Amino acid sequence: MTGPSRDNAPGAWTKSRTASGETVLELSERDEQGWSVVTVKGRLDSATVKRFSEQCAPWIEGGPPNVVLDLSALEYVSSAGLSSILSAAKKLQARSGRFAIAGLRGLVKEVFAISGFETVLATFPDVETAIKTS
């Protein structure tokens, strides 16, 4: 696969911690069939969203413009998180890329439904289906 080099090594994990030291956000990225699969674990809230945006920037703004966010291990998302996901989706759209969400469940799925994001964004039950169908 050719394209711009990435700042993050394949499969590299990055973590976000609160001031108390507790880890609440974990991100990792891997390449799969021409897609950048970004796995988000923990909480995407007002405290972690800045780190989320900064660490996803290389994958959203560079590299292949096909990104799927694997949210199957995301336990909590607030409107701050939704805004950053919306921003990512719009940036990929501007690059004529594809953006998909996979693995919505529980309260996160409900928040996506409330906000209309479950329909305005391409959502799938899992990463494999997202890549095959998009």
Partner 1 sequence: MEEVQRVVAFVADLAAGAGLGAEKGKRLELAIEEWIVNVCKYSYPGAGGTVEVALHKGRGNLQVDIADEGLPFDLTATAEPDVAAPLAERQPGGLGLLVIRRMMDEVGYVRDGRRNIVTLTISTAQS
Name the residues that contact partner 1, by CB under 8 A: 18-20, 45-47, 49-50, 75-76, 78-80, 82-83, 86-87, 89-90, 93, 107, 110-111, 114-116, 119-121
Query: Considering the complex, what minimum distance in angstroms separates the CB of residue 130 from partner 1?
Result: 17
How many other CB atoms sit within 10 Å of the CB of residue 64?
A: 17
Q: Which is nearer to partner 1, 18 or 23 (CB)?
A: 18
Half-sphere exposure of 82 (CA within 13 A, CB side): 17
Nearer to partner 1, 12 or 107 (CB): 107
Q: From CA 46, how far away is CA 131, in angstroms rounded?
A: 29
Helix and strand tally (H, E) in the chain?
A: 5, 7
- CB 121 to partner 1: min, Å: 7
